[in-house]
Amino acid sequence: MCADQIERLPTGITGFDHIANGGLPKGRTTLVSGTAGSAKTVFAAQFLAAGIKRGEPGVFVTFEETPEALRRNMLGFGWDIARWEAEGKWVFVDVSPQPEEELVELGSYDLGALLARIEHAVRSIGAVRLSMDSLGAIFTRLNDSRVVRNELFRIVSTLRRLGVTAVLTAERTQEYGEIARYGVEEFVSDDVVILRNLLEDEKRRRTVEILKFRGTSHQKGSFPFTVIPGEGIHVIPLSAIELKQRSSSVR
Amino acid sequence: MCADQIERLPTGITGFDHIANGGLPKGRTTLVSGTAGSAKTVFAAQFLAAGIKRGEPGVFVTFEETPEALRRNMLGFGWDIARWEAEGKWVFVDVSPQPEEELVELGSYDLGALLARIEHAVRSIGAVRLSMDSLGAIFTRLNDSRVVRNELFRIVSTLRRLGVTAVLTAERTQEYGEIARYGVEEFVSDDVVILRNLLEDEKRRRTVEILKFRGTSHQKGSFPFTVIPGEGIHVIPLSAIELKQRSSSVR
Amino acid sequence: MCADQIERLPTGITGFDHIANGGLPKGRTTLVSGTAGSAKTVFAAQFLAAGIKRGEPGVFVTFEETPEALRRNMLGFGWDIARWEAEGKWVFVDVSPQPEEELVELGSYDLGALLARIEHAVRSIGAVRLSMDSLGAIFTRLNDSRVVRNELFRIVSTLRRLGVTAVLTAERTQEYGEIARYGVEEFVSDDVVILRNLLEDEKRRRTVEILKFRGTSHQKGSFPFTVIPGEGIHVIPLSAIELKQRSSSVR
Amino acid sequence: MCADQIERLPTGITGFDHIANGGLPKGRTTLVSGTAGSAKTVFAAQFLAAGIKRGEPGVFVTFEETPEALRRNMLGFGWDIARWEAEGKWVFVDVSPQPEEELVELGSYDLGALLARIEHAVRSIGAVRLSMDSLGAIFTRLNDSRVVRNELFRIVSTLRRLGVTAVLTAERTQEYGEIARYGVEEFVSDDVVILRNLLEDEKRRRTVEILKFRGTSHQKGSFPFTVIPGEGIHVIPLSAIELKQRSSSVR
Amino acid sequence: MCADQIERLPTGITGFDHIANGGLPKGRTTLVSGTAGSAKTVFAAQFLAAGIKRGEPGVFVTFEETPEALRRNMLGFGWDIARWEAEGKWVFVDVSPQPEEELVELGSYDLGALLARIEHAVRSIGAVRLSMDSLGAIFTRLNDSRVVRNELFRIVSTLRRLGVTAVLTAERTQEYGEIARYGVEEFVSDDVVILRNLLEDEKRRRTVEILKFRGTSHQKGSFPFTVIPGEGIHVIPLSAIELKQRSSSVR
Amino acid sequence: MCADQIERLPTGITGFDHIANGGLPKGRTTLVSGTAGSAKTVFAAQFLAAGIKRGEPGVFVTFEETPEALRRNMLGFGWDIARWEAEGKWVFVDVSPQPEEELVELGSYDLGALLARIEHAVRSIGAVRLSMDSLGAIFTRLNDSRVVRNELFRIVSTLRRLGVTAVLTAERTQEYGEIARYGVEEFVSDDVVILRNLLEDEKRRRTVEILKFRGTSHQKGSFPFTVIPGEGIHVIPLSAIELKQRSSSVR
Ligand SMILES: Nc1ncnc2c1ncn2[C@@H]1O[C@H](COP(=O)(O)OP(=O)(O)OP(=O)(O)O)[C@@H](O)[C@H]1O
Ligand SMILES: Nc1ncnc2c1ncn2[C@@H]1O[C@H](COP(=O)(O)OP(=O)(O)OP(=O)(O)O)[C@@H](O)[C@H]1O
Ligand SMILES: Nc1ncnc2c1ncn2[C@@H]1O[C@H](COP(=O)(O)OP(=O)(O)OP(=O)(O)O)[C@@H](O)[C@H]1O
Ligand SMILES: Nc1ncnc2c1ncn2[C@@H]1O[C@H](COP(=O)(O)OP(=O)(O)OP(=O)(O)O)[C@@H](O)[C@H]1O
Ligand SMILES: Nc1ncnc2c1ncn2[C@@H]1O[C@H](COP(=O)(O)OP(=O)(O)OP(=O)(O)O)[C@@H](O)[C@H]1O
Ligand SMILES: Nc1ncnc2c1ncn2[C@@H]1O[C@H](COP(=O)(O)OP(=O)(O)OP(=O)(O)O)[C@@H](O)[C@H]1O
Ligand SMILES: [Mg+2]
Ligand SMILES: [Mg+2]
Ligand SMILES: [Mg+2]
Ligand SMILES: [Mg+2]
Ligand SMILES: [Mg+2]
Ligand SMILES: [Mg+2]
């Protein structure tokens, strides 16, 4: 199905690899954008967990939740992160703010130092995959929103140089409209996935959509998914027949 | 129903524990966001009142209403706060502005001192639960909206360290759209509950929704509730059958 | 109908006391918000006029209309303010801008001095009720919109200390959306009433709604009212049967 | 129909006096707000022209169109302003910008001097009516939008002191939403009239509405009008029967 | 049909003179506002071309397209501008930015010098008509958007003094809502025409509407037009019957 | 079909030349605006690739993706850029940010130097076509958004002087509304094409529309297209009959 030159890395997320025509573009960074609770962190962690099952070590850069919280939160999906850490298959780069530390100076955030720590972590375990969760936290600390584009480019470039396949989560405050907070993230990124948590008739419905994969093909449109205890994200790819029915239905 | 690792603390709010799969995540802070009059304060107080009935002391940090006003306002629900205070089961941390004091300097607000007072109060009665009402007031006094994310993180981290299970209320000015005032609160928080007070056909209807519980499952969508004298918030969980009917109804 | 601890003060506004379960919460300040021409000033004056008929003196703090204009404008409702002033039942605190005075310096507005004048007026006639019309004018003179929350709190606190039951009007520029101009007024206030002047099918329709009464119950939803010469605001409470019909009607 | 104390001055605008219960409130200033081309200037001029026919001299303060342009533009309605000027019945206060003069300094606009010129003009012919067209131009020259409220108040106060009945036009850029440009004009003014020029189905339809008359009654809702050569604004008051039909029509 | 005093100058644009009751108001400036590609430049050029056919020389002030580009672009309509220039019937005032010149200083734009050049050009050929295309480019170079109103007034005044009948194009970014970019242009101008390029059902449809002609009458509502090679703008005035049908059609 | 004077350069994009009445205006710059993933880069590259097949060398100026990434991403369409580079038919001007370089100073971006590099590249291979992808990246580095209009003009002027036919891509964050990010790009450009990636019923549909071609005719409205592996953009021009059907279908 994928006749072009962009290699894929299977995510192991049920159904997602199907709509992605094999997985995420290898050696590149995919932006995963969604509102609060849209399952960005589950996606980012599951991407690493699936890699570990295939023998690919992973690095998880966390800006918001502490490693401790993530270890506990992901246990419900059957992912024993602590064990993987002990086995040298999972490494945290912990950039979550320290409760004690005052916010000395806005803008003093040192992106170069962070990238060095990430490089060190990747090297230390020979990481094949990397997740960074989430951009919202890092840019809030920058003192000039105009630099977002540039900083994001530096991150993506460094990850490319390191050869890892990466997932980078981004925050949005609305289900439609701007893709991410600053209106530039989706342009800097090669690949963009959107997670939605739609409120319809007072009920919630989750969907995932590949907005773009530069230089390669993928399934278009959005697909329903659920978050299942003991498993994680479970995408339900519609067959061609179902898609047809759906589109011909009155609206 | 809750096979994952995140323990729950029953809130005692009728029906809510059912949609929360047992209660609020234990040892964490839940953001409760709503418009003016959406019953945030009732939720926050009822959470403590229910704890006291189970033998769990509670701390109520108030930024807006004075302790005196709260004692009186909650009497209508049958909660005798003054007695609980006398019995060492309820402690107020009063951060409501003093009418006499001028607003000396915007931004001079000392979050560190507040956190110390909270810690002292929690220790003094061995509090298990804590409510903080509301964020809107505290951030208005901060002089730089960019620091909201950081300050909120410090609060949440401190509460986690103290081991209490907490409710933190937040203000929003619209029933849909941004979850809370600054567009970042819902990302910093592990758990988010939304209280709505919808105007439909010139009538009001209240609903509660769990937007997210990090790392654990919960009922999705919004559920109707009422505020009943002598009782407080009363959530009406719909049975699976009713839910089905609701969703298949023409709209 | 009102089993809780919050005492009421009948407003004397026909029909309103019914939906308010007896009247405005006694000893507290109620925010009355509405667009231009929504009858805020009529509400504020009628509240005092009704009190005088029950032997309760009142203070009217005016920021926009001069006392002279108010005396004349309210005559159409049969309220002889000049006489009440002579009888020591009504006192104006005139804070309306003086045409001659230049706007020396924005922000030099002295809230402390105003509160002192109000206290003096309340004491001088033993006022039971107070109306302040409107917040919009006072805050326009403040030089920093961030201080609105704090200033409003000081006003409300002072009125509480003085023991009066008060009505405070606020401006909004749209019938729906933000409750008042600065997006914080409704959170600082214990009690909020909304006056609407809806344009439907090129016709105007007035409604009143109690958005919240902290710590006590009230009728929910909005109720039609008219402004009648010789009487003032006349709220038409719908019977339970009518309400049912209204909600079941096709829309 | 008008049992209250607010005297009226007939405008002479066909049909308008009917919906105004007799005319504009005497001795006060009415804000007339509308989009470009909504007939604000026609309204303002017709108000003076009608007065002259009743023996009441008028002052026209013009900020935008030159007196020369106004004389010519109003001829189509049969109003011979030049003659009236010669007869001492109409005086222009010309504040239209002079093409040659550079914009020396924003904010240097001298409102006091303008008010003095207006006072002089009013005195010189014993003016009973005054029109000021339009606020948009005057405030654009002010360098701080926060002072709009105060400046507008000074204008209105001065006109009240001079005893004239006045029309003050204001600009809005949308047919619905904010009443006027700065969101405060409608609160400072005692009386507000809205002129609309609605685009429906690619056709234009004009309506006039009295939004508020402080302290007195008026017809509610909007009424269609046309601008007729040789006559001016012609309002078509709907009979009660027609109104009923209109409101019961399906929409 | 035009009984008033405002003389008209036929534009020569097929059908437009009909809805304009004879043409554009003579000796005045008409603002022609539209989105990108709405045919503003075609309108402006056609206005001059039609004049030349009637023996009236014209000046074209161009801010965006170079004279060279305009000569070529207008050839498709059969307008041989180069020949007319040679014959002294058409003069360009070229204010298009020079590619080589750096943007020395924003705000240093010399409006006085431009007006002098325009005056010189008008005098040199005894111009009767003038087109200026477009305002967007001139104001972008001004460093303070508050001066737009004043600058625009200076332009209009100068043109009035020169006695030419002028077309001034303005940019808007949306088909509905604000008439032009700065929200003031339509108030400063005596006459406003709107060109729309509507997207309906994925098809484009062009319409023209006279929003206002100060002091004189015109057809109301919008009329379809097309841009035809070899001819230019071709307005299709609907007969009264067609208009009726259109308005009664279901929508 | 194209009787006017503006010569065309066939793009080689299937179906597009048909709706463009022959191709892009020769010697000019066409702005191609679209959201993230709307196929702007594919369009820009295909324009060059098609030229090479006709013996016309091309320059690709890249601001976002590195030449290396582009070489790989375009292989899926069968375009062997590396070979073309070796054969002197394709030259990259690489302005993509260097990951190592810190963002020394915002605004220090040297447009003059860039234009010199572009001129050099064009000369070196005698380029006939040029693509520049994308404007978003270049303007983010400028420190003053008011200069966008001027800078864009300098770019367009330089390209005109060089005699190349160019495609310039621009970013937009919404499918409707503002054409491009700064609200001025579409006015400075002679020719504008819009690529849309519409979300309807949870499915994506791509369309292309020629918004304007200055001085020449083109098909109006939007046309569906797909991105096909091994081919690139494939526009499906609707026949007149189909268009008729489409417009008469119920919506
Ligand atoms: N080889 C290919 N085969 C099929 N489809 C492809 C191929 N390459 C790209 N696409 C499609 O084109 C889309 C991206 O196109 P492109 O990179 O040109 O968009 P863009 O508008 O330049 O986006 P951006 O603003 O992010 O630069 C991909 O998301 C994919 O859907
Ligand atoms: N163990 C679990 N079992 C079932 N559902 C779960 C489990 N863990 C998480 N979820 C669901 O996933 C949601 C949160 O997912 P996640 O934390 O990945 O969202 P997010 O997009 O990262 O949110 P944020 O922006 O707040 O970080 C929860 O609200 C819950 O509905
Ligand atoms: N004793 C009571 N009996 C019945 N209803 C009550 C009682 N107390 C409060 N309510 C209802 O709850 C509403 C207010 O709830 P609450 O004060 O908790 O809202 P809130 O979200 O905290 O508002 P705010 O943002 O203004 O603090 C009241 O307006 C009333 O409708
Ligand atoms: N004597 C009266 N008889 C009938 N209706 C009246 C009378 N006085 C006022 N009204 C009605 O009430 C409206 C104005 O009410 P009021 O001045 O209280 O409004 P408001 O909300 O205070 O407006 P603002 O924001 O401009 O101060 C008038 O427009 C009119 O419709
Ligand atoms: N003599 C006339 N005969 C018929 N209609 C006229 C005449 N004069 C003006 N009009 C109509 O009135 C409209 C303009 O009215 P007017 O100038 O009063 O509007 P305005 O609200 O003052 O606009 P602006 O905000 O631009 O000053 C014209 O566009 C025209 O439609
Ligand atoms: N010779 C021609 N034949 C047919 N149609 C043409 C011709 N010239 C221009 N057009 C049409 O007119 C449109 C552009 O018109 P014009 O340049 O006047 O628009 P504009 O409003 O001035 O745009 P801008 O804001 O970009 O300057 C073209 O997109 C094309 O559709
Ligand atoms: Mg997360
Ligand atoms: Mg509260
Ligand atoms: Mg009032
Ligand atoms: Mg006017
Ligand atoms: Mg143009
Ligand atoms: Mg691209």
Q: Inter-chain contact B99–C6, Cβ cutoff 8 Å? A: no
Ligand 4 pocket, C76 CB below 6 A? yes
- Whole-number pLDDT of residue E240: 44
Q: How far is CA F88 from the centre of its chain?
A: 22
Average pLDDT value for residue range B60-88? 95
> Which residue bears the tokens 């360290």?
B161
Q: Which of B174-188, B200-214, E47-61 has the lowest mean pLDDT?
A: B174-188
**Closest CA to ligand 2's atom 2:** B216
- Whole-number pLDDT of residue A142: 53
**Closest CA to ligand 2's atom 5:** B217
With a CB-CB cutoff of 8 Å, which residues 4-33 of chain C face chain D?
Answer: none
DSSP string, chain E: ---SS--EE----BTHHHHTTTSEETTSEEEEEE-TTSSHHHHHHHHHHHHHHTT--EEEEESSS-HHHHHHHHHTTT--HHHHHHTTSEEEEE-PPPSSS----TT---HHHHHHHHHHHHHHHT-SEEEEE-HHHHHHHSS-GGGHHHHHHHHHHHHHHHT-EEEEEEE-SSSSSSSSTTS-HHHH-SEEEEEEEEEETTEEEEEEEEEEETTS----SEEEEEEETTTEEEE-PPPHHHHHHHHHS--
- With CA atoms as reference, the chain A residue closest to F141 would be A146
Q: How many angstroms separate the CA atoms of F21 and E75, rounded? A: 17
DSSP β-bridge partners for residue D206: D197, D225
Whether the upstream peptide bond of residue F134 has omega within 30° of 0, thus cis, is yes
- With CA atoms as reference, the chain E residue closest to D99 would be E154
Enter the pTM of the model: 0.90
On whether the CB atoms of residues F168 and F32 are closer than 8 A, the answer is: yes
**Per-residue model confidence as pLDDT tens digits over E176-214:** 888 888 888 899 899 999 999 999 888 999 999 999 999
Q: How many angstroms separate the CA atoms of B50 and A181, rounded? A: 39
User: Cα separations (Å) of A17 from A2, A5, A38, D17, F233?
Assistant: 12, 17, 19, 73, 25
Q: Inter-chain contact E73–F192, Cβ cutoff 8 Å? A: no
What lies within 8 Å, CB to CB, of B243 at 6+ separation is A203, B221
Which atom of ligand 2 is least distant from the CA of B191? Answer: 29
Token pair belonging to B36: 């003016």
Q: How many angstroms separate the CA atoms of B94 and B22, rounded? A: 31
Instruction: Kindly state whether C85 is in contact with chain B, defined as any CB-CB distance less than 8 angstroms.
Output: no
Which residues are within 5 Å of ligand 8 (an ion), measured at CB?
B 40-41
Q: Are strands B191-200 and B29-34 parallel, antiparallel or unpaired?
A: parallel
Radius of gyration of chain F (CA): 18
- Whole-number pLDDT of residue E244: 46
- Whole-number pLDDT of residue B242: 53
**Closest CA to ligand 6's atom 4:** F217
What lies within 8 Å, CB to CB, of B113 at 6+ separation is none
Q: Which of D22-36, D85-99, E132-146, F155-169 has the lowest mean pLDDT?
A: E132-146
Token pair belonging to A157: 């470039």
- Whole-number pLDDT of residue C239: 60
Q: Inter-chain contact F143–A147, Cβ cutoff 8 Å? A: no
- Whole-number pLDDT of residue A250: 33
C113 SS3 class: helix
- Whole-number pLDDT of residue C148: 81
Which atom of ligand 4 is least distant from the CA of C134? Answer: 27
- Preferred mutation among D153, D216, D225 to probe C, highest tally of C CBs within 10 A: D153
Q: Is the pLDDT of residue F244 over 60?
A: no
- Whole-number pLDDT of residue B108: 43
With touching defined as 3+ CB pairs under 8 A, do chains E and F touch? yes
Radius of gyration of chain C (CA): 18
Amino acid letter, residue A220 = K
DSSP β-bridge partners for residue E223: E208
**Per-residue model confidence as pLDDT tens digits over D32-85:** 999 999 999 999 999 999 999 999 999 999 998 999 999 999 999 999 999 999
Ligand 3 contacts (CB < 6 A) are B 34, 36-42, 76-77, 227, 229; C 4, 187, 212-218
User: Cα separations (Å) of A10 from A18, A25, A49, A56, E77?
Assistant: 9, 9, 12, 11, 59
Neighbors of chain F with 3 or more C-beta pairs under 8 Å: A, E
Q: What angle do CA E5, E10, E13 make, to 5 degrees?
A: 140
- Whole-number pLDDT of residue B193: 98
Q: Is F178 exposed, middle or buried (0-12, 13-18, 19+ CB in 10 A)?
A: middle
Instruction: Kindly state whether D186 is in contact with chain C, defined as any CB-CB distance less than 8 angstroms.
Output: yes
- With CA atoms as reference, the chain E residue closest to D135 would be E187
Q: Which of C181, C162, C227 is nearest to C16 (CA)?
A: C227
Which atom of ligand 1 is least distant from the CA of F74? Answer: 1
Q: What is the DSSP letter of B146?
A: G
Instruction: Kindly state whether E145 is in contact with chain F, defined as any CB-CB distance less than 8 angstroms.
Output: no
Token pair belonging to A114: 């962070």
Q: Which of B164-173, D93-102, E225-234 has the lowest mean pLDDT?
A: D93-102
Q: How many angstroms separate the CA atoms of D159 and D162, rounded? A: 5
**Per-residue model confidence as pLDDT tens digits over B75-107:** 999 999 999 999 999 999 998 877 655 544 444
Q: How confident is the model at residue F238 (pLDDT cuts 50, 70, 90)?
A: low
To the nearest whole Å, the CA of D186 is away from the closest chain E CA by 19
Distance from Cα C247 to the centre of ligand 1, integer Å:
50
- Preferred mutation among A41, A103, A175 to probe B, highest tally of B CBs within 10 A: A103
Q: Inter-chain contact B247–A203, Cβ cutoff 8 Å? A: yes
Name the more confident of E99 and E237: E237
Name the more confident of F194 and A109: F194
Q: Is the pLDDT of residue F137 over 90?
A: no
- Whole-number pLDDT of residue C202: 87
What value does the mean pLDDT of chain E take? 87
**Per-residue model confidence as pLDDT tens digits over D113-162:** 999 999 999 999 999 999 999 888 777 655 455 678 888 888 999 999 99
Residues in chain A: 251
**Per-residue model confidence as pLDDT tens digits over B156-199:** 999 999 999 999 999 998 888 888 888 888 998 999 999 999 99
In the predicted model, residues of chain A with pLDDT beneath 70 are: 1-4, 99-109, 140-146, 238-251
Q: Where are the alpha helices (DSSP H) in chain D?
A: 16-19, 40-53, 67-75, 81-86, 111-125, 135-141, 148-162, 185-188, 240-248
Ligand 6 pocket, F35 CB below 6 A? no
Ligand 1 pocket, A217 CB below 6 A? yes
pLDDT tens for each residue of chain C, 251 residues long: 344 578 999 999 989 999 999 999 999 999 999 999 999 999 999 999 999 999 999 999 999 899 999 999 999 999 999 999 999 999 999 988 776 555 444 444 578 899 999 999 999 999 999 999 988 877 765 545 567 888 888 899 999 999 999 999 999 988 888 888 888 889 989 999 999 999 988 899 999 999 999 999 999 999 999 999 999 999 987 664 454 444 443 33
